Amino acid sequence: MEWTENYIYFYLDSRLRQVFYIDFRKNKDFWTFGEFQGKSENSTHLLENPWVNSTSKTGNAPFDQKFYLILNVAVGGRNGWFS
């Protein structure tokens, strides 16, 4: 994983096998990118943007500050793939 102020980039084994790339844009924040603003039920908005008053200059709030990233690599289940 590479994380800079401009993008988050995931790859396997080498950069040639790209898995996920997202660039940060000032004009399209993550709230808009995730299309959360359009979620409603019975004409009531289900979610409000918690970063509406963010002072982020990069447009990548909340990922423009330190936090912990937890990666879950659990495997299991009873669907025929694992016994």
Q: In the prediction, which pLDDT does 80 show?
A: 64
Sign of CA pseudo-dihedral 65, 60, 62, 7: negative
Structural domain range at position 27: 1-83
Q: In the prediction, which pLDDT does 76 show?
A: 67
Domains of the chain: total: 1
Q: In the prediction, which pLDDT does 35 show?
A: 76
pLDDT in tens, the chain (83 residues): 888 878 888 888 887 887 888 887 767 777 777 777 766 667 776 777 888 887 777 767 777 778 888 888 877 666 666 55
Q: In the prediction, which pLDDT does 57 show?
A: 72
Distance of CA 20 to the CA centre of its chain: 10
Q: In the prediction, which pLDDT does 68 show?
A: 86
